[in-house]
Amino acid sequence: MKETALRIADFKDSIFGVISKLARDNHAVNLGQGFPDFDGPAWLKDIVYKKMQEGHNQYAPFPGTPSLREQVAKYYESFYRLRYNPEDQVTVTVGATEAIYLVVTALVNPGDEVIVLEPFYDSYVASIKMAGGVPVPVTMHAPDFVVDAKELERAISPRTKLLIINNPHHPTGKVWTKEELTEISKLAGKHDLYVLSDEVYEFLLFDGATHLPLASLEGMFERTITVSSAGKTFGLTGWKIGWICASREVSRACRLVHQYVTFSVSTPMQEAVAEALTKLPTYLPDFVDLYRSKRDFFYGEMRKLGFEFEIPRGTYFMMVPIGSKTRLKDVDYAMKLIKERQVATVPPSAFYLKSTEGEGYLRFCFAKKEETLRAALKNLDGL
């Protein structure tokens, strides 16, 4: 048979699948999987059932159901004072992952360069490569995961079209400061770049941190494409309802791709998420509290085990430095922990193209039942 396409020739199985299989094979407690091991809210599951019973079961309009686009636009306005027209500036996608693929495909020509801030969510680079673009990594330097503005500017060339940022940041848990975002905005303006801002963890913030959408910074509304999704916010990652908020022109380009990749997204799920978004103000305090208590518990116990690091202010991940425990690199240490301690984590070097800084860390996901976290901690005891 002839070979499969060259554009995927260097793609490997995603690290998440590899770790999950190893976790199963070794009966390990899985803190590698980046999603809750408990269910989302019962009231929301009741809503989707109601939507099905009400007959929302045929193809939705391809840009998304009017009710979901309207509710997305409403929460951007009420939470962030950002005004998107649901008619032509909000597009519903199959999770943030499809949204990222659409944005990159709609904007990037073969040979165009795209800045990715490493460690990065792995679908960014895959999407860039599928579009024939060139990922250009700029490292968020450990231990504070800070980007050097000069280094960032040096990475920009006349071929740079797009920069991708993730805030709050997976896997580090970093929440970008206004100063850092302003720095990036200035460079985007100066070099006329689009910026894809992946904000899927926008509501998972702790210790008084607030979300500052990049699009709300001066001069950034037109050039920012904001991507988010309901998966993390409602603890139902399998529902896969995401969206893109962008200028009319970019939204139109994304929709042109979307109509041929997906055509339309699950109707009852969209209708349920639309209703759920109206409940954000009452839902969020308990939601954040639940994750904050998990974070505090897991962080406190990890410190007791001798891991030294700053507590993350966002997301449900921790990048834990392993240097005080081992001379092994992240991948080897992750394998050792799975096999000898029955605890699965993700080696973050999979999220880097250039720097080796990730080799000194492991990513732990604390979106787990208390019994899961306790079981993992028990297995790690005495390391």
Interface residues toward ligand PLP, by CB under 6 A: 34, 95-97, 121, 166, 170, 198, 200, 229, 231, 237, 240, 242
Q: Which long-range contacts (CB under 8 A, 24 or more apart) does 275-282 make?
A: 275/47, 275/51, 275/67, 275/71, 276/44, 276/47, 276/230, 276/234, 277/68, 277/71, 277/72, 277/74, 277/75, 277/230, 278/71, 278/74, 280/75, 280/79, 280/203, 280/233
Question: End-to-end CA distance of the chain, in Å?
Answer: 50
Task: Please state the closest distance from residue 311 (CB atom) to ligand PLP, in A.
Answer: 19
How many Å apart are CA 90 and CA 247, to the nearest integer?
Answer: 9
CA angle 232, 233, 234 (to 5 degrees): 95
CB of 383 to ligand PLP, least distance (A): 27
Between residues 68 and 96, which has the closer beta carbon with respect to ligand PLP? 96
Which residue lies nearer to ligand PLP by CB, 237 or 342?
237
For ligand PLP, which residue has the nearest CB? 95
Q: Look at residues 14, 339, 32, 341 and name the one whose alpha carbon lies nearest to residue 171.
A: 32
Q: How far is the CB of 378 from ligand PLP (least distance, A)?
A: 27
Query: Of 135 and 377, which CB lies nearer to ligand PLP in the complex structure?
Result: 135
* Shortest reach from residue 100's CB to ligand PLP, in Å: 7
Q: Least distance (Å) from ligand PLP to the CB of residue 171?
A: 8
| In the complex, minimum distance from the CB of residue 34 to ligand PLP, in angstroms, rounded to a whole number | 5
Query: From CA 363, how far away is CA 359, in angstroms rounded?
Result: 11
